[in-house]
Amino acid sequence: MNYKKNLFFSLLFIFLSTSAFSQEKITYKKIDTLELTLEIYRPNSSKELGNYPALVFFFGGGWNGGSTAQFEPQAKYFSERGMVCFLVDYRVNSRNKTSPFESLMDAKSAMRFIRAHAEEFQIDPSHIVAAGGSAGGHLAAATALIESYNDPKDDLTISCKPNALVLFNPVIDNGPGGYGFERIGAHYKEFSPLHNIQKGAPPTVIFLGTKDELIPVKTMEYYQMVMEKVGSRCELYLYEDQVHGFFNYRNFEFYKETLLKADEFLVSLGLLDKMPKVEVK
């Protein structure tokens, strides 16, 4: 890495480490004139270089729209808990006239960029968690399970696979009858997380409402069963009578409940210290 880039990251981290919830944008990918960015939330406490876990969020919106603002509250919370959090922007149809395949390429590019720059971000490259809601949940899971749809410009020697997954009513079945099949078509076999679970899949926690109009409970229970069959941990929490998107901040009760369950999950993996020391707000 050249001197200017080292200086840039050094100044960035000095700025971020002195401001609670400080946010900065960094470009992780350029496509012609388009720049795709990461919004970064860092802990306010000092820690040994390279020793922070990372949490990478992908917003929902059916690969058609959405905003990084969706997971801003969660990113603020987990940065206070001692994680470096990233909000990933990626191409969507409404803004970029792209398909779900480009969205996945971008998600993989973002994961590779974060891992490649682990030292500058002061994170442990073996402690990177991917999270997301709805189609963003698909992207998080797909970075772990899908081998195809890599950007030709990516360095494929750098793994895009997270070490754990936190999924909020994720789109995990793109096959016939599943979400998005009309756009995915026959490609579902190499695009759908449900159809690509293999041994070594990272530990996963999933949150779903029982009245989700897009993600059937039976589909998620089957996903959990297949995960456990290959020897991977998969916790599924069902929320009675809740619909798609129930976990968002506007539904504070369930935002808080899913947030604390995710916290417990990360504690159980040794990624966070026991007992939250910050207020959920």
pLDDT at 31: 96
- Both tokens of 183, joined, read 């756009």
Q: Is 185 left (phi over 0), alpha (psi -120 to 50) or beta?
A: left
pLDDT at 18: 38
Q: To the nearest whole number, what is the mean pLDDT of the chain?
A: 92
Are 170 and 114 in contact by the 8 Å Cβ rule? The answer is no
Low-confidence ranges of the chain (pLDDT < 70): 1-22, 45-50, 276-277
pLDDT at 276: 65
**Closest CA relative to residue 271, chosen from 144, 160, 130, 129:** 129
**Closest CA relative to residue 98, chosen from 153, 32, 156, 168:** 32
pLDDT at 238: 98
- pTM of the entire predicted model: 0.91
pLDDT at 197: 98
Strand 123-133 and strand 204-209: the pairing is unpaired
Q: How many residues does the chain have?
A: 281
Q: CB 66: neighbour CB atoms within 10 A?
A: 22
**Closest CA relative to residue 136, chosen from 93, 202, 190, 90:** 90
Alpha-helical regions (H) of the chain: 3-17, 72-80, 93-96, 100-116, 118-121, 135-145, 181-184, 188-191, 217-229, 252-268
pLDDT at 20: 41
Angle subtended at Cα 223 by Cα 212 and Cα 112, rounded to the nearest 5 degrees? 95
Beta bridge partners of 23: 41
- Domains annotated for the chain, with CATH where assigned, are 3-268 (3.40.50.1820)
pLDDT at 281: 84
Are 38 and 110 in contact by the 8 Å Cβ rule? The answer is yes
Strand order in the sheet with 34-41: 23-31, 34-41, 84-88, 52-58, 123-133, 164-168, 204-209, 234-239
Please list, in sequence order, all residues whose beta carbon lies within 8 angstroms of the beta carbon of residue 106, skipping any fewer than 6 positions away. Answer: 29, 36, 88, 90, 91, 151
pLDDT at 47: 60
Are 83 and 45 in contact by the 8 Å Cβ rule? The answer is no
Q: Which residues of 208-244 are buried (b: 16+ CB within 10 A; e: fewer)?
A: bbeebebbbeebbeebbebbeeeebbbebeebeebeb
CA distance 16 to 84: 11
pLDDT at 49: 58
